[in-house]
Amino acid sequence: GENVEQHPSTLSVQEGDSAVIKCTYSDSASNYFPWYKQELGKRPQLIIDIRSNVGEKKDQRIAVTLNKTAKHFSLHITETQPEDSAVYFCAAIPSGSARQLTFGSGTQLTVLP
Amino acid sequence: EAQVTQNPRYLITVTGKKLTVTCSQNMNHEYMSWYRQDPGLGLRQIYYSMNVEVTDKGDVPEGYKVSRKEKRNFPLILESPSPNQTSLYFCASSSGQGAYEQYFGPGTRLTVT
């Protein structure tokens, strides 16, 4: 089955700096890669996703890049703000997997004022 | 309001006492699933359902049962809970119409003593 590894497990940045979280996956047939944000005590919420036919996708301060050859994808947050502090999860869905999301172990991002 | 609901939100129980956590969605979604979240392990899928009367095992199904008799409901059943099932549980749904975004419920914090 699919295996998703996520790094780093914790990340602290100064407000205004950029943050990058990286994930690798094992199943070359995976074709959908979402990122979820989970604030303390709350449910995970989708913030951005990318499909395998696209190399990069941006939404304001958030971007995701995908390298299918290397089987890794990354979340980039620019101009970080205190409200970006949360746990971020990457995930992958292998092709034909009936929507079985495999999550990474999460990254605790702290934006320091 | 489109939402996924879970009940109860918090539950403390004893080993061996059968319990059910309910999950309901009002978005007419075909796909529903259950995850457990444990520190350092991310979100792991327990069971999922592609539609009414269609369920399948996820990555960690041992000790759990599910049913999908109606499209909107997907209860999680622990026939004989054990302390290693102490966890935070999330139900999620997605439309099944070519859209992969999963909408999560608020979570159920379960403690088995």
Q: Which of B78, B79, B45 is nearest to B60 (CA)?
A: B45
- C-beta separation of B110 from B22 below 8 A: no
pLDDT digits (tens, 9 = 90+) for B65-84: 999 999 999 999 999 999 99
- CA A17 to each of CA A38, A40, A86, A87, A111: distance values in angstroms, whole numbers, following the listed order: 20, 22, 16, 17, 9
Under the banding of pLDDT at 50, 70 and 90, the label for residue A101 is confident
* Interface test mutation site (partner A, options B37, B100, B103, B108, max chain A beta carbons within 10 A): B100
Chain A residues touching B58 at Cβ < 8 A:
100
Residue environment code for A85-94, b if the CB has 16+ CB neighbours within 10 A, otherwise e: bbbbbbbbbb
Closest by Cβ to B40, choosing from A34, A99, A105: A105
pLDDT tens digits along B31-73: 999 999 998 888 999 999 988 999 999 989 999 999 999 999 9
Q: Is the pLDDT of residue A94 over 80?
A: no
DSSP characters over A17-84: S-EEEEEEES-TTEEEEEEEEE-TTS--EEEEEEETT-SEEEETTEEEEEETTTTEEEEEE-S--GGG
Residue B83, both tokens: 């302390």
- CA distances A110 to A19, B39, B40, B41, Å, are 10, 17, 16, 19
Q: What is the pLDDT of residue B75?
A: 98
pLDDT at B101: 86
Name which of B40, B41, B102 is nearest A101 (Cβ-Cβ). Answer: B102
Give the residues across from A44 on adjacent strands: none
Closest chain A C-alpha to B17 CA, distance in angstroms: 27
Structure tokens belonging to residue A21? 């979280």
Question: Is residue A102 left, alpha or beta, with left meaning phi > 0 and alpha meaning psi from -120 to 50?
Answer: beta
Per residue in A55-87, pLDDT tens? 999 999 999 999 999 999 999 999 999 999 999
Output the pLDDT for position A99. 63
Please say whether the beta carbons of A89 and A101 come within 8 A: no
Dist CA B43 CA B92 (whole Å): 11
Could you give the CA distance from residue A86 to residue A43 in angstroms, rounded to a whole number?
11
Q: Is the dihedral of CA A91, B36, B27, A85 positive or negative?
A: negative
Task: Give the per-residue pLDDT at A100.
Answer: 74
Alpha-helical runs (H) found in chain B: none
Q: What is the pLDDT of residues A28-64, one digit of tens each?
A: 888 899 999 999 999 999 999 998 777 999 999 999 9
Q: Would you place residue A96 in the very low, low, confident or very high pLDDT band (cuts 50, 70, 90)?
A: low
Contact check, Cβ <8 Å, B90/A93? no
User: Averaged over A16-24, what is the pLDDT?
Assistant: 98
Indicate the average pLDDT of chain B.
Answer: 94
Lowest mean pLDDT segment, chosen from A7-21, A55-69, A98-112, B73-87: A98-112
